[in-house]
A and B are shown apart, each in its own frame.
Chain A
């Protein structure tokens, strides 16, 4: 179908300022992505999937500036023994990164994916993104596949002794960054991937994750605290039989964040959990858009999203569970909740279930509420001042999402961080 004039001119004006980079052996995938993008066009506010989140600033040619946030805090995951892979404004920084060799995992830069040596990622770059374009178009992911200048490919073949930590440093106040990572977890392998940092004034990140039979991947991310930063991120995950994918995201600050997560359970007995905790204050818009497809028997999926909002902050949740014909014994769970700390803040939720199998258990729920006054009085009657009680109840509200992090050290790191942020805000 041809695009309407407005969408076409929007799309072409964006593309006219950009150059497709010549990185590794991804040329064909980039050409295909461009064609895909041109056929769907960039998103507009009237699109069904962009009704709650204005795409304008993610789509316009120049990135709106974002001041750097100097918090003077130790970096997230700083206390965790990890392999650091650092990007500064979207460019891999070897001098800040650790040696990329680690037993059980092969890490390369995207530019090392050369045709000559038959690199494994060659057949994966853009593939899961393409699969994720139906039934819902995700044009900003296609834009990423076409234009991403850097990124890493991670192939997990064993059980690496420590997490791989992708660290995104934001340096220039007008940086406009595309990163694209490709991850494959081989049969029986298991790894943890961490992500931290604001990355850029405007950040477009795409992660393709292929977990083969019996593979396990843990993913924990802390999005940077720069108030004015914007980010649109996509995760496309495909899970084989008996595989496990567990992802958690912490977001505090950021004028605009759209995190899309597309998961396909293609083999029996797969498990996919995706969770998010977000704390928004003031000029803050946070959107979790999740689409999980059950296409095999006896798989489990779980979505747990919690948002604490105040001073006019906005939270959005669009979450879908699609159970394909034959995907019997599906166990699907979805919960999205907001804690509104005042009357100015807003939570918009669109939970969806679409089920074509008859022997499944799927549940979903969405709530918006204020602080529990009974609990507040109980805390205050014990001497806990109102502001501290609010923070305690905030942490308690977020706990169900944070508890999705299996590793105790990483969970503690996230909790400690949250506590410190809330305490700082209290002053």
Chain B
């Protein structure tokens, strides 16, 4: 589903190469995890895939179901089925959470030549999904992420994912800033979305999120490359021994 080949990326502002030939393939129905030390390029990978400005792709490719992601505008990538759950969800004062989600969903449907959802149908759908994530009406009515706690922001990301029903979900350190209960809630939300047609790429520092969202494949990223790939046991190895052993082994 998501195919990344030899991806090379520089920072636009300074002469610095962040990704140095990333190869990664995520199949439909699978959960892949990327772990790695700070500065290894994990978040950059998520930003480049979603189309954030400030990066220059100097080589390689990234496709979603065969479509070239790197040629598309961010909104086209979203309509094509790519979703990034932000590490730091953005606060947008003045834009209601519901308005935001409905505008996003209908823009995506329109881009795919699908019929737009009526306000009433949308409301019903969101309320159902919000309930399972313990998001109350007040949070739905408030401006996007404004005054939300860290946990509420992350739950709101997962709600958007549930509403937009993307094909390929990237979770960028969704566990950061979450206590155990909040993490469980978020993980339950993600697990509810796991199905045959959907791929996940879970970026995290720690094993603990992967206790709740069980990965099929674990990659270790270091210095802009995937340096090791394995099963869930690889995450446990990191948890027990840190990155140093693995990095020494592949050096």
A interface residue numbers (CB < 8 A to B) = 372-375, 377-386, 388, 392-393, 395-400
A122 to B101, CA, bound (A): 56
A294 to B74, CA, bound (A): 51
B95 located at the interface, meaning its Cβ lies under 8 Å from any Cβ of chain A in the complex: yes
Q: Decide: A382 and B90 in contact? CB cutoff 8 A.
A: no
Whether A384 contacts B103 in the complex (CB less than 8 A), given A377-B53, A393-B95, comes out as: yes
**Using a Cβ–Cβ cut-off of 8 Å, how many residues does chain B contribute to the interface with A?**
31
B interface residue numbers (CB < 8 A to A) = 50-53, 73-75, 77-79, 84, 86, 89-90, 92-95, 99-101, 103-105, 107-108, 111, 143-144, 160, 164
11 contacts between A and B (CB under 8 A): A378-B90, A379-B100, A381-B74, A382-B101, A382-B104, A382-B164, A383-B105, A383-B164, A384-B100, A384-B104, A395-B95
Q: Decide: A399 and B94 in contact? CB cutoff 8 A.
A: yes
Whether A397 contacts B104 in the complex (CB less than 8 A), given A380-B75, A383-B75, A383-B79, comes out as: no
A392 to B98, CA, bound (A): 12
A51 to B160, CA, bound (A): 49
Whether A381 contacts B84 in the complex (CB less than 8 A), given A386-B75, A388-B103, comes out as: yes
A377 to B78, CA, bound (A): 12
Given A381-B50, A383-B79, A383-B104, output 9 extra A-B contacts at Cβ < 8 Å. A377-B90, A382-B104, A383-B107, A383-B164, A388-B107, A392-B103, A393-B92, A396-B92, A399-B93
Q: Which residues of B contact A374 (CB under 8 A)?
A: 90
Q: Which residues of B contact A385 (CB under 8 A)?
A: 73, 75, 107, 111
Is chain B's binding surface mostly helix, strand, loop or mixed? helix
Q: Decide: A383 and B52 in contact? CB cutoff 8 A.
A: no
In whole Å, how far is B147's beta carbon from the nearest beta carbon of chain A?
15
Whether A396 contacts B93 in the complex (CB less than 8 A), given A380-B74, A385-B107, comes out as: yes
Instruction: Give the 4 A-B CB pairs with smallest separation, nearest first.
Output: A396-B94, A383-B78, A383-B108, A380-B74
Q: Decide: A395 and B94 in contact? CB cutoff 8 A.
A: yes
In whole Å, how far is B170's beta carbon from the nearest beta carbon of chain A?
10
A377 to B86, CA, bound (A): 11
A419 to B51, CA, bound (A): 28
Is chain A's binding surface mostly helix, strand, loop or mixed? helix
In whole Å, how far is A272's beta carbon from the nearest beta carbon of chain B?
24
Whether A382 contacts B78 in the complex (CB less than 8 A), given A388-B103, A392-B103, comes out as: yes
Q: Which residues of B contact A380 (CB under 8 A)?
A: 51, 73-75, 78
Partner of A382, one of B73, B93, B100: B100
Q: Which residues of A contact B90 (CB under 8 A)?
A: 374-375, 377-378
Partner of A384, one of B50, B77, B84, B107: B107
Q: Decide: B74 and A392 in contact? CB cutoff 8 A.
A: no
In whole Å, how far is A423's beta carbon from the nearest beta carbon of chain B?
12
> Which of the listed residues A383, A385, A397 has the most CB atoms from chain B within 10 Å of its own CB?
A383
Q: Which residues of A contact B86 (CB under 8 A)?
A: 378, 381
A400 to B53, CA, bound (A): 29
Q: Decide: B74 and A377 in contact? CB cutoff 8 A.
A: yes
Q: Which residues of B contact A393 (CB under 8 A)?
A: 92, 94-95
Q: Decide: B78 and A381 in contact? CB cutoff 8 A.
A: yes
Q: Decide: A382 and B89 in contact? CB cutoff 8 A.
A: no
A28 to B91, CA, bound (A): 59
Q: Which residues of A contact B89 (CB under 8 A)?
A: 378
Q: Decide: B160 and A382 in contact? CB cutoff 8 A.
A: yes
> Which of the listed residues A382, A392, A395, A396 has the most CB atoms from chain B within 10 Å of its own CB?
A382
A383 to B101, CA, bound (A): 10
A393 to B99, CA, bound (A): 12
A397 to B92, CA, bound (A): 10
Q: Which residues of B contact A399 (CB under 8 A)?
A: 93-94
In whole Å, how far is B210's beta carbon from the nearest beta carbon of chain A?
24
A120 to B99, CA, bound (A): 49
Q: Which residues of B contact A386 (CB under 8 A)?
A: 73, 75
Q: Decide: A392 and B78 in contact? CB cutoff 8 A.
A: no
